[in-house]
């Protein structure tokens, strides 16, 4: 089986005012199709840095990352963006939606970069919004929606391209318990019914318990990797 994501010895060093910060110090990790994994660990341990690398939003200082068997280091930025667009959905703690744009258009946006025609874009975006229970909010802008609704729009946007992997960095971090539970129910369904591999970062044990695998990160390294 080709892993959905495969990282070998990833290092990510940041330069900050002449001082090197080693956020990741050699992380190897394999995520198989259909997996559900939680990344946990203290603040500053490198979780978001790892997620950005896995999601091809950033490049490692050294090490290898393969997405669906394709090594990212050999790709130009454009090719990398295309690979990401076709295989990976990303959900952020703070939603990252376009403020002046309707829910429907926010969700349709990734399809623009794929060259999908307008009618099909809007129809697929509508279906993605229906699938997260927001069929009645398509014309609303982010400021006209609750936090939970905005996060569900972000999930619909991540799903509209039918990715094999959904990466979510603290997707419930800005939500209250009820909205957090709703978001987790959507992720459970995606993984269980559609077989999308889900990797999420969380500080909440209750959220991490949805995953079958718990990856503990500390000081830029994987400290424990536990299959439930």
Please, what is the minimum distance in Å from the beta carbon of residue 47 to Mg ion?
5
**Considering only CA atoms, which of 34, 21, 27 is closest in space to residue 6?**
27
Stretch that binds ligand ATP, among 37-45, 68-76, 138-146, 150-158 (CB under 6 A): 37-45
Residues 99 to 158 in contact with ligand ATP, rule: CB under 6 A: none
Interaction between residue 19 and ligand ATP (CB under 6 A): no
Would you state the torsion angle of the CA atoms of residues 155, 158, 159, 164, taken in this order, to the nearest 10 degrees? -120
Residues that bind Mg ion (CB under 5 A): 48
Interaction between residue 46 and ligand ATP (CB under 6 A): yes
Please, what is the minimum distance in Å from the beta carbon of residue 16 to ligand ATP?
4
Nearer to ligand ATP, 21 or 228 (CB): 21
What is the rounded distance in angstroms from the CA atom of residue 187 to the CA atom of residue 199?
10
Stretch that binds ligand ATP, among 14-22, 76-84, 95-103, 178-186 (CB under 6 A): 14-22
Q: What, of ligand ATP, Mg ion, none, does residue 43 touch, CB below 5 to 8 Å by kind?
A: ligand ATP
Residues 169 to 228 in contact with ligand ATP, rule: CB under 6 A: none
What is the rounded distance in angstroms from the CA atom of residue 53 to the CA atom of residue 59?
6
Q: Per 3-state DSSP, what percentage of the chain is helix, strand, and coil (rounded to 5)? A: 35, 30, 35
Residue 213 dihedral angles phi and psi, to the nearest 5°: -130, 135
What Å distances lie between residue 154 and 45, 76, 167, 178, 223, CA to CA? Answer: 25, 26, 12, 17, 31
Q: List CB contacts of 158: < 8 A, sequence separation 6 or more.
A: 89, 90, 91, 166, 168
Stretch that binds ligand ATP, among 45-53, 97-105, 125-133, 189-197 (CB under 6 A): 45-53
Nearer to ligand ATP, 148 or 220 (CB): 220
Q: Hey, what are 206's tokens?
A: 């209750």
Q: What, of Mg ion, ligand ATP, none, does residue 150 touch, CB below 5 to 8 Å by kind?
A: none
Q: Which parts of this chain interact with ligand ATP (CB under 6 A)?
A: 14, 16, 21, 23, 41, 43-49
């Amino acid at each position: 089986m080709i892993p959905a994501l495969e990282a070998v010895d990833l290092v990510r060093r940041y330069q900050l005012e002449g001082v090197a910060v080693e956020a990741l110090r050699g992380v190897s990790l394999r995520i198989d199709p259909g997996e559900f994994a939680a990344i946990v660990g203290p603040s500053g341990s490198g979780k978001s840095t790892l997620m950005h690398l896995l999601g091809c939003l950033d490049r490692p200082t050294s090490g290898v990352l393969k997405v669906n068997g394709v090594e990212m280091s050999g790709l130009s930025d454009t090719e990398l963006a295309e690979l990401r667009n076709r295989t990976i959905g990303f959900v952020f703690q703070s939603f990252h939606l376009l403020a002046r744009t309707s829910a429907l258009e926010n969700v349709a946006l990734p399809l623009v970069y794929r060259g999908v025609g307008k009618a099909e874009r809007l129809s697929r975006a509508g279906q993605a919004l229906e699938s997260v229970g927001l069929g009645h909010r398509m014309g609303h802008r982010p400021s006209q929606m609750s936090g939970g609704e905005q996060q569900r729009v972000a999930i619909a946007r991540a799903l509209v391209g039918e990715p094999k992997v959904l990466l979510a960095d603290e997707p419930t971090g800005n939500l209250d318990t009820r909205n957090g539970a709703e978001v987790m129910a959507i992720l459970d369904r995606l993984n269980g019914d559609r077989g999308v591999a889900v990797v999420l970062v969380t500080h909440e044990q209750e959220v991490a318990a949805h995953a079958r695998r718990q990856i503990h990160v500390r000081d830029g390294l994987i400290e424990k990797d536990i299959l439930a």
